[in-house]
Amino acid sequence: MRAKYKRVLILLVFWISCLPFQSASADIGPKPTMDFTFTQQFAGAKVSISSGTMFECDQPDCSGAKPLMEAGPQRFSCEAASCHALAYGFNNYHRLEIQFSDGKTRQSNVFKTSEFNATYKVTIRQDDLLVEPNSSLGTVSPYIFILLCCCCLLGVAAVVVIVILIVRRRNI
């Protein structure tokens, strides 16, 4: 009987010693993203993206717009035919302002955040941009899938531990 209590005490001390003495914090959670794919609508020489800015707005008319601030992983970046935004959190409304290889700067319509990991189709028109959300209803984020799997495993582990404790208690 004493050996059993010693074993439990040793396991308890080992488990407590594995706990951190100070709280640890890290920014490891998923962050919302926006991906923009550009297609040219007007005839003429094909244009490419030189640079761009995504403005964040609180109002539907995008008054008081501010550029998405670059901080840590949060940023807006562009390549020749696409742009990508990652943020700690997006405002409800947005507007793009993109500079192209033809020397023109085109502004988009005001658009709303559509999903956590949103994709948008951007049509390059002669004088402006048209941003439309690509709907991906029915897709599950890999982060949500992993979280659900972890929760299920924890639930199964908890049930197994409870059953073992109940069976051992009845045998004593």
Residue 11, in any domain of the structure: no
Residue 149, in any domain of the structure: no
* pLDDT reading at 23 higher than 80: no
For the chain, the domain total comes to: 1
Nearest to 83 by CA among 97, 70, 93, 71: 97
Angle 155-148-166 (CA atoms, 0-180°, nearest 5)? 5
Q: What is the CATH number of the domain that holds 54?
A: 2.60.40
Q: Which domain, by its residues, includes 86? A: 33-134
83, 36 contact by CB (below 8 A):
yes
User: How confident is the model over 85-112, as pLDDT tens digits?
Assistant: 999 999 999 999 999 999 999 999 999 9
Nearest to 36 by CA among 144, 104, 126, 109: 109
User: How confident is the model over 43-52, as pLDDT tens digits?
Assistant: 888 999 999 9
